[in-house]
């Protein structure tokens, strides 16, 4: 029998050190992704407001610049200086959480660039996550994503069950995370090298991908073999977790979409 998280209290890490390209920055008035504004609010305002409004988040640590930390303080979040990489920011956040809560068990990691995040979405995703794995990763299928955001593009991986993309909220076993840090850093280091990732992933996985026989179970097994921990691809996760702001096109689409929702 599989058990799922009850509505309870969790702690959150928001890595918010990402920057955008100069042309995009000139349009939005900042080079910091977390501080891009929509309707007078930054994306970070939306993310932190959603975590607070979820009613299930206790302590929030935001990792970023001094400007980002100042914004975090308005939501009662703890701001700390960013590190040298994405994984470094996550683990700096984890270390700070443990200072406040030495018995920390589960941590929610939320990217800072989700413009459609709400408190209800945070709750819905957490409630979908099983308790018996170390890492829960939200996956959203292509038809659902395009139904919600027609005319947009995203990267989808084809599996035997369908095409999926990954969302930007993860539930992790905080006690196990330090043991898998080196593995996470290795994946991050190789992420932009096709040859490096191919060596890391392995020929069997690549063959299944190319022959369209890859399954979600294969993805979960790969998480376990690469990181040395158990993982769950959470199907049915809210589509809003998969829309993030990386480029000018994303920003312009999100601006128009939020106007419709207002």
Q: For 143-160, write each residue's pLDDT tens digit.
A: 999 999 998 877 788 888
Q: How far apart are CA 105 and CA 172, in angstroms?
A: 9
Give the pLDDT of residue 8: 65
The stretch 170-179 carries a mean pLDDT of: 86
Q: How far apart are CA 90 and CA 131, in angstroms?
A: 21
Is the predicted pLDDT of residue 244 greater than 50, yes or no?
Answer: yes
The stretch 162-176 carries a mean pLDDT of: 88
The Cα-based distances of 20 to 31, 111, 241 in angstroms read 5, 14, 20
105, 174 Cβ separation under 8 angstroms: yes
Q: How far apart are CA 176 and CA 135, in angstroms?
A: 10
CATH top-level class of 10-261: alpha beta
| Digit-coded pLDDT (tens) for 52-62 | 999 999 999 99
216, 141 Cβ separation under 8 angstroms: no
Is the predicted pLDDT of residue 17 greater than 50, yes or no?
Answer: yes
Confidence tier at 23 by pLDDT (50, 70, 90): very high
**Residue 38, strand partner residues:** 41
Task: For tokens 């018995």, name the residue.
Answer: 103
- Give the ranges where 116-215 is alpha helix by DSSP (H): 119-128, 142-148, 181-190, 194-201, 203-210
Strand (E) or helix (H) holding 81: strand 78-81
Is the predicted pLDDT of residue 204 greater than 90, yes or no?
Answer: no
The stretch 114-134 carries a mean pLDDT of: 93
Domain ranges of the chain: 10-261
Q: How far apart are CA 148 and CA 215, in angstroms?
A: 24
Task: State the pairing for strand pair 37-38/41-42.
Answer: antiparallel
| Digit-coded pLDDT (tens) for 96-116 | 999 999 988 889 999 999 999
Share of the chain above pLDDT 90, in %: 52
Is the predicted pLDDT of residue 194 greater than 60, yes or no?
Answer: no
């Amino acid at each position: 029998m599989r058990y799922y998280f009850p509505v309870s209290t969790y702690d959150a890490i928001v890595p918010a050190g990402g920057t955008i390209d100069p042309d995009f920055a000139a349009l939005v008035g900042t080079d910091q992704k977390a501080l891009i504004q929509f309707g007078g609010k930054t994306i970070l305002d939306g993310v932190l407001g959603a975590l607070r409004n979820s009613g299930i988040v206790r302590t929030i640590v935001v990792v970023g610049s001094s400007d980002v930390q100042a914004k975090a303080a308005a939501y009662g979040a703890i701001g700390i200086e960013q590190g040298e990489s994405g994984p470094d920011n996550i683990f700096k956040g984890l270390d700070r959480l443990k200072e406040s809560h030495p018995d920390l068990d589960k941590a929610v990691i939320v990217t800072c660039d989700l413009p459609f995040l709400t408190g209800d979405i945070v709750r819905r995703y957490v409630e979908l996550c099983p308790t018996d794995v170390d890492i829960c990763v939200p996956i959203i299928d292509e038809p659902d994503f395009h139904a919600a955001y027609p005319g947009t593009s995203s990267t989808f991986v084809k599996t035997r069950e369908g095409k999926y993309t990954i969302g930007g909220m993860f539930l992790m076993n905080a006690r196990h995370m330090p043991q898998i840090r080196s593995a996470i850093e290795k994946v991050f280091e190789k992420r932009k090298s096709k040859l490096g990732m191919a060596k890391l992933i392995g020929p069997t996985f690549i063959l299944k991908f190319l022959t369209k026989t890859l399954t979600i179970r294969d993805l979960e097994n790969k998480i376990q073999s690469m990181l040395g921990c158990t993982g769950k691809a959470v199907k049915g996760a809210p589509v809003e977790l998969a829309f993030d702001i990386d480029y000018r096109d994303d920003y312009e689409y999100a601006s128009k979409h939020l106007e419709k929702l207002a």
